[in-house]
């Protein structure tokens, strides 16, 4: 079954404690991306990657890092989380580059920073 898997699904953490949200896809997709969803602001892109070792900033990259060492994995790293990073996070992947083809989303990760 085609899947984008995120972990953890739910997390409460404290300000400043580094955390990583993992993302893995089993569809051999070249393109992967992270979004955050906030009330009144909708979904916004954080970072994206067009292939292994190729990453670039989206609309709201501040406070986040990513890496793409393997095709299937695209972790989101919060080096020093702050309460304004409390959000619902989605990882997404797509075959190929360019905007054609269906984008598949993971189930979401609810992150609360206190």
Partner 1 sequence: GIQVEQSPPDLILQEGANSTLRCNFSDSVNNLQWFHQNPWGQLINLFYIPSGTKQNGRLSATTVATERYSLLYISSSQTTDSGVYFCAAALGGANSKLTFGKGITLSVRP
Give contact residues for partner 1 (rule: CB under 8 A).
31, 33, 35, 37, 42-43, 45, 48, 50, 56, 58-59, 88, 90, 92, 94, 97-105, 107-108, 110
Task: Collapse the DSSP code of 84 into the 3-class scheme (helix H, G, I; strand E, B; otherwise coil) and give the result.
Answer: helix
Task: Write the DSSP symbol of residue 86.
Answer: -
The nearer residue to partner 1, 81 or 106, going by C-beta atoms, is 106
Q: How far is the CB of 47 from partner 1 (least distance, A)?
A: 10
Chain centroid to Cα 83, Å, comes to 18
Q: How far is the CB of 100 from partner 1 (least distance, A)?
A: 5
Q: How far is the CB of 31 from partner 1 (least distance, A)?
A: 6
Q: What 3 state SS string does 9-42 have?
A: CEEEECCCCCEEEEEEECCCCCEEEEEEEECCCE
The nearer residue to partner 1, 68 or 94, going by C-beta atoms, is 94
């Amino acid at each position: 079954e085609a899947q984008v898997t995120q972990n953890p699904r739910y997390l409460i953490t404290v300000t400043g404690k580094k955390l990583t949200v993992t993302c893995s896809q089993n569809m051999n997709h070249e393109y992967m991306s992270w979004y955050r969803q906030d009330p009144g602001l909708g979904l916004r892109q954080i970072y994206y990657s067009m292939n292994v070792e190729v990453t670039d900033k989206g609309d709201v990259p501040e406070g986040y890092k990513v890496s793409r060492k393997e095709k299937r994995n695209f972790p989101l790293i919060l080096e020093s989380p702050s309460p304004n990073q409390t959000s619902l996070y989605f990882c997404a992947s797509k075959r190929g580059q360019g905007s054609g083809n269906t984008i598949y989303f993971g189930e979401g990760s609810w992150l609360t920073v206190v």
